[in-house]
Structure 1
Amino acid sequence: MGAIVTKTDAVLFYGRHDARLGSIEIGDPGPDEVQVRTSASLISTGTERWILTDRFSASGTPYPCVPGYQRVGIVTKTGSNVRDVRIGERVIATSGSWTGGSIPYWGAHLALANTSRSEIYPVADSLSNEDAAGIVVAQVGYNAASRVSLGGDDWIVVYGDGLIGQCAAQAARARGAKTILVGRRRERLELGAIYSADHVIDSSAGDLSGQVKEITGGRHATAVLDTLQQRELQLEYVPLLEQGAGQIVYCGHAIGDAWADMSLLQACGLTCHFVSDWTRERNEAALSLLTEGSMRLAPLVTHRGTAAEAPGFYRMLLDKKEPFLGILIDWSLEQ
């Protein structure tokens, strides 16, 4: 019998600012692949907006492409070399794989796709699809928080109230640190105060240093986790750190020229970390925190919809006229 080719719905970026629901063809999984029918996928709002506007990479976005790098679903087929994944099992998958037509820009926003066994993660029954679908975003936050050297009774200030900032604050708190989430969006800060941080600060109110010191009792922060990476913000938060001992973890995305004042960092003797990408070890660590409830994504999902509604979500990202945080595509409603 020949290989079976299935046409499947997919979110496609056809060009700058042009996101539509289309279709691609998926063949049988390769020997080391697992085929997963998607139940839900979570939009990585920052990364995917960069891709849709052709600003993520200096080499440009290869349109047309299928975006996304995190989904949860049910195994439908396994490759001949795969022995430890069962058909019918619920799993997390990251990148999708297929040949011909539109290429995967990681490729997770689609109804069906093959994924390398190395990028498949079993999911506990207790973990909701909304939590499981955001594994890579959770991992970025975990990665940022894990870089900080803690000494006990630590304060960590997280800049940015998006999903990365929320996850970084949750992961830092899971390590025992006291956390302050800094942002400008009221709706996000309200969620952050409930689910992510010990304290939240609206930076638009001014006097950030005074607000932080009031919370910490005048103590310096052990570290700043910076998801925004803007020069003017660096000038704002460097005084929060102890000279010669403070730490900064840059956990946003930037291309092009430097956006940080390196001479200031050197003069203050600060330790800096840069985080990027994902590893299996870090995904598994974040998954463990999600499973035990120390990290939560489900309560941060503000928008849910079908695949047919996905193009509207991307227009919302571009327009920025409506408050949003987590955005989930529910593929089960299409099946």
Structure 2
Amino acid sequence: MKTQAVVFPEAERFEMRELTLDEMGEKDICVRTLVTAISPGTERWILKGKHIGTKFPCVPGYHRIGIVEKCGKDVKLFKPGDIVYGSGNRWKEDIYSMWGAHCGYSVSGPEGYTFISSTMPDTYELETTVFTIVAAVAYRGISFLEVKKGEKLLIIGAGFIGLCAAQLATIRQASPIFMETCPERRFFAQSLGYPAFSPDEIDKKIKEIAPEGVDIIYDTAGVPPAIDKAVGFAKRWGKLLLQAQYFDKEHRAIDLDQIKIKEMTIKTTCGTSDDDWDATFTEIKKRRLKIGQLITHRFESSECLKGYKLLLEGKPFNLGIVFFWNR
């Protein structure tokens, strides 16, 4: 079986290729893709060749919902017609899988898939729940921090994860504040009702909003000078979550002394758990976590490369990018 797939042949290049899938075995399932979505942080780092373990050429992505078309005779977990979430795949070409979600069909064992429904979700549910993994990163962060009612969070970076974290903090009746260098991202966060300021103006604004300091610093950007500046606004015995990518060994040192002086607790997360995924999926389905308002671009699968051009160039402004493969 042949399928179309997004391939990164080398750093900062992307193209569509036809791949030949492995033959199905008795323990395999064949899944036809309905929708995929770019994970803006991870896939940008892969595209730039900086993500840990990146190998070229590769098929990127881990956000994918599809429908089971065939099951091997030994498969008990799924049946044809089931709607599933996952990105397991095998193909004959010498192309690596960097989770391999962005393709039209897949053949693999069922282990990499999660059952969603026995009936077809509507378009809105498909395009929002497909972002469950990246949103679950924010869920894990807020859970690790044990965010409480009345607390103030300073979130560094108003990207997809930061905006999800702000929503989840608000559900817990905490108050998020953004520090963001990009004017378009600041405006977008403000349009959703969140205070968002540039590093140049945040000193004055924090004094107005949180004169006693903030309880939590939530880093999604991985820029040491921004972390150092934010820590200056933290209360004594506050918390610092490091949840960005810190690949650049030459420029990732932060000022530990001021963290020590304030006796702050440093927390980190990496990836998500099945429990995070389940809880986040539920929050999205219940529309408490509003992913729809974070989707800025929707493309047919034949236009995937337009999405990656946006991702690489960063212009025009974009956050959630979705690809529809079923129409």
- Within 2, Cα distance between the matches of 1:215 and 1:296? 25
Which runs of 4 or more aligned residues in structure 1 lie more than 6 Å from their structure 2 counterparts after TM superposition? none
Q: Is contact 2:21-2:90 (8 Å) kept?
A: yes
The answer for the alignment partner of 1:302 in structure 2 is 296
SS of the equivalent of 1:168 reads: helix
Native 8 Å contact 2:77 2:110 kept in 1: no
CA separation of 1:35 and 1:219: change in aligned 2, threshold 3 A: farther
Determine the structure 2 residue equivalent to 1:253.
245
Q: What is the aligned partner in structure 2 of residue 312 from structure 1? A: 306
* CA RMSD across the alignment: 2.2
Q: Which amino acid aligns with 1:250?
A: L
Q: How does 1:221-300 map to 2 (within 5 A)?
A: 221-243=214-236, 245-257=237-249, 258-300=252-294
AA aligned to 2:133 is V
Contact 2:22 2:92 in 1 (8 A): no
Q: Distance in 1 between matches of 2:233 and 2:28?
A: 48
Q: Distance in 2 between matches of 1:171 and 1:213?
A: 24
Q: Which amino acid aligns with 2:177?
A: I
Amino acid in the other structure paired with 2:132: I
TM-superposed CA distance for 1:200, in Å, is 2.2
Counterpart-to-counterpart distance in 1, 2:204 and 2:112: 45
C-alpha separation between the residues in 2 aligned to 1:228 and 1:168? Answer: 13
CA 1:230–1:86: 2 relative to 1, 3 Å? same
Are the aligned partners of 1:21 and 1:307 in contact in 2 as well (CA < 8 Å)? no
Aligned to 1:14, what secondary structure does the other structure show?
A: coil
Q: Which shows bigger deviation, 45-54 or 13-22?
A: 45-54
Aligned pair 1:7/2:2, yes or no?
yes
Match of 2:12 among 17, 20, 40: 17
Q: Is the 8 A contact 2:148 2:173 kept in 1?
A: no
> Distance in 2 between the 1:176 and 1:80 partners?
50
Aligned 8 A contact 1:249 1:274 in 2: yes
Unaligned runs of 5+ in 1: 1-5
Shift of 1:302: 0.9
Offset at 1:311? Answer: 1.8
What count of residue pairs does the alignment treat as equivalent? 320
Q: Structure 2 matches for 1:31-180, cutoff 5 A? A: 33-57=28-52, 61-93=54-86, 95-101=87-93, 102-114=95-107, 116-123=109-116, 125=121, 128-180=125-177
Deviations 1:290-313 (A, max 9, x none): 111121222211111122322232
SS at match of 1:158: strand
Percent identical among aligned pairs is: 26
1:180-259 to 2 correspondences below 5 Å? 180-195=177-192, 199-203=194-198, 206-216=200-210, 218-243=211-236, 245-257=237-249, 258-259=252-253
* Inter-partner Cα distance in structure 2 for 1:23 and 1:296: 35
| 3-state SS, counterpart of residue 176 of structure 1 | coil
Relative to the length of structure 2, the TM-score reads: 0.89
Q: Could you tell me which amino acid in structure 1 is paired with residue 37 of structure 2?
A: L
- Over residues 271-320 of structure 1, what are the superposed CA-to-partner deviations in whole Å (9 max), with x where a residue is unaligned? 11111122212111111111111212222111111223222322222223
> Structure 1: which amino acid aligns with 2:162?
G
Paired residue for 1:3?
none
Under a length normalisation based on structure 1, what TM-score does the superposition of the two structures give? 0.87
Is there any run of 5+ residues in structure 2 with no aligned partner, and where?
none
- SS in structure 2 of the partner of residue 85 of structure 1: coil
- Cα-to-partner distance string for 1:191-231 (whole Å, 9 max, x where unaligned): 43455xx5221315x23132123223x23222111101211
- Give 1:321 shift: 3.3
